[in-house]
Amino acid sequence: MGKFYITTPIYYPSDNLHIGHAYTTVVADALARYHRQQGEDVYFLTGTDEHGQKIQRRAEEAGVSPQVFVDRIVENIKELWRLLKITNDDFIRTTEERHMRRVQQIFQRLWDQGDIYKSEYEGLYCTPCEAFWLERQLVDGKCPDCGREVEKVREESYFFRLSKYADRLMAHIEAHPEFIQPVSRKHEMINNFLRPGLDDLCISRTTFSWGIPVPFDSKHVIYVWLDALTNYITALGYPEEADENSLFKRFWPADLHLVGKEIVRFHTIIWPIILMALDLPLPKQVFGHGWLVLEGGKMSKSKGNVVDPVVLVEKYGLDAIRYYLLREVPFGADGVYSEEALVLRVNTDLANDLGNLLHRTLSMVEKFADGVVPAPGVYEPLDQALISEAGRVVQAVQEHMEKLEVSDALAAIFQLIGRANKYIDEAAPWSLNKQGNRERLNTVLYSMVEALRVAAILLVPFLVETPAKIFAQLGLDGDPAESGLAEGCRWGQFPAGTKVRKDKPIFPRIEWKDDKDEPEQPKEEVKAPAEKETESKPEITFDHFMQIDLRVAKVLAAEKIEGADKLLHLKVKIGSEERQIVAGIAKYYQPEALIGKEIVVVANLKPAKLRGHLSQGMLLAASAGDQLALVVPEKPIGDGAEVR
Ligand code: ME8
């Protein structure tokens, strides 16, 4: 059995945490749950980084001692992780006695072996970021990270010999391409920091007192990064408890430090060098993910533009938020947070695809089999295609999770869910029932519930309430988290004869209303067109109508066409296919307003060139007088869906 030690950054308790912190922690939680599901020995650590000048100042402003100040916020942080059902095994606070004592022991050892020396420091310091900068790094004389004033400080300090280990670190990074991920961050570290040469690191301060005292010189406190980074080993007991039976022996080196991209530098340069000096193995991987930003820029506690995860969970429910965080942004990249996108995601994937699959499946088991899951007969090619899709997806989820492609893993699971919905349409159990084809109907109903059982197990690392809800409605007694992933997902384990327990839809659709919007504009009255205006057309047969391939398409991009005031150029997605469509709607719609919309298009119209642009289809819109309205599905249904 393998082991998996995963950590999040330890967060500053200078304020309550926001959705950005929840993002890192929820991803770490999904990875921890996934590795547990794989049968590995998992240790998942998070915590708080409580020392430093910024916290001391915040406490002064609040009129309380720093300890009282952080205690309050840390309680809220722990409460947030309980709310999000985070499965961390430990929560380390840097103000805990166990941590402070061990940091002092580490400092002492580095001093004794000559890796720390005393000198004088002069530098430019940004208090909110807790970072020192060189003159040349400033932007317009201000902190390059947050844009605030920096202070000149000069003081006696202890220094850590980073430079001594620079070559060894470079060699390690080159020999272990997986160490810094994504790979773009590795190049950044090499080119921006290692190649220009490392300066020794100032690791003590005398200008504030809220920190761990240097063990043999109480005028100095240990400056935060040495204090903070070592949490990953002090939490395991190092250096006091490092024998055979210790957590440290069992879990170090870490398999994954998950961090935001702005602290990759600390985790891939300073931290490995501290470990080298201590003669300890380096973490196997540091993954620097992107930021969740608001339309107006990065969320930050110091800017005050933050989104509170507690409010979102109350409003939309835990699994909705977890799903959005894990699915929306390809892990690694930056992503724009928007509540509207959250609602769209939940409605499309959870309410529509997954919720409907469960609801319609159970309705049919009730209607056609008295609510009792029948034993399957012989599998036909249609069923076998579903079974092999389930097998493919189980494998795809594992491959994606090993590469930390969390969003792709979820996308794969929803491909199975989509496939199962399509399977129902194609197998048409209602017709089989009408024909009295009992054996075939049994096989189809069985395959439907079995696909849902597999999907519930696949969802275990990501959603924390839904898999058990699906199991309960399917009438299954076990816990979906209990069987391992590959074993649990093996096809055919649904016990025939089970009585299903259909209940309320697991994800009711959310009605979206943007509170921030301007008050709704009074709608212009739409005048009914005069009867004569609609010229009647000759009668057609049903077969004629069915020759028109009407499909739902999703607008991916839209822009004006230069020199053609009436035309917009749209890029749309119809199932797995992308197309471009030229439409005469520029007078009625701003291009940005169309992006993400589901519209209806004639998909089998012969392509034509309009003003030199190829148009591969036509969108449907209703027009009356000088009004025009796009025809859209009444609720999100997914592109590629047929319209009849
Ligand atoms: O840096 N998008 O703590 P911190 C995505 N104490 N992730 C975000 C985010 C956003 N908008 N905002 C914050 C510290 N994060 C130090 C760490 S570790 C030894 C010491 C997440 O409270 C992301 O993981 O400023 C980022 O790295 C971390 O919170 C910063 O938290």
Question: 263: Cβ below 6 Å to ligand 1?
Answer: yes
CA of 113 to the centre of ligand 1 (A): 33
* Structural domains in the chain plus CATH codes: 338-488 (1.10.730.10), 542-643 (2.40.50.140)
Distance CA 93, CA 49 (A): 6
Give the number of the atom of ligand 1 that is nearest the alpha carbon of residue 263.
27
Q: Which atom of ligand 1 lies nearest, measured to the CA of 291?
A: 2
Residue 387 corresponds to which amino acid? I
What is the structure's pLDDT at 182?
A: 93
Distance 289 CA to ligand 1 centre (A): 10
Q: What whole-number distance in Å separates Cα of residue 24 and Cα of residue 11? A: 11
Nearest CA to ligand 1 atom 28: 260
Question: Which residues, given as ranges, of the chain have pLDDT below 70?
Answer: 300-304, 514-538
157 beta partners: 119
Q: For a substitution probing ligand 1, which of 24, 31, 58, 325 has the most ligand atoms within 8 Å of its CB?
A: 24
Could you tell me if the CB of 23 is within 6 A of ligand 1?
yes
Per-residue model confidence (pLDDT) at position 185 = 92
Orientation of helix 466-474 relative to helix 356-369, angle to 10°: 10
Q: What is the pLDDT of residue 518?
A: 37
Q: How far apart are CA 129 and CA 200, in angstroms?
A: 19
User: How far is the centre of ligand 1, averaged over its atoms, from the C-alpha of 319 (Å)?
Assistant: 22
Q: Closest Cα to atom 27, ligand 1: which residue?
A: 260
**Strand 256-260 to strand 286-289: parallel, antiparallel, or no bridges (unpaired)?**
parallel
Q: Is the CB of 10 under 6 A from ligand 1?
A: yes
CA of 96 to the centre of ligand 1 (A): 21
Q: Check residue 519 and give its pLDDT.
A: 36
| Residue 199: closest CA among 288, 147, 123 | 123
Strand arrangement, sheet containing 217-222: 204-205, 217-222, 213-214
Tokens 């025809």, residue located: 631
Q: What is the pLDDT of residue 398?
A: 98
Distance CA 363, CA 178 (A): 48
Whole-number pLDDT of residue 517? 45
Q: For residue 624, give the H/E element and its range.
A: strand 621-624
Question: pLDDT tens digits for 189-217?
Answer: 999 899 999 999 999 999 889 999 999 99
**Is 12's C-beta closer than 6 angstroms to any atom of ligand 1?**
yes
Centroid of ligand 1 to alpha carbon of 583 (angstroms): 45
pLDDT for residue 538 = 64
Distance (Å) from CA 12 to ligand 1 centroid: 8
Reported pTM? 0.79
238 and 3 Cβ atoms separated by less than 8 Å? no
Q: Is the CB of 291 under 6 A from ligand 1?
A: yes
Tell me if 260 CB under 6 Å of ligand 1: yes
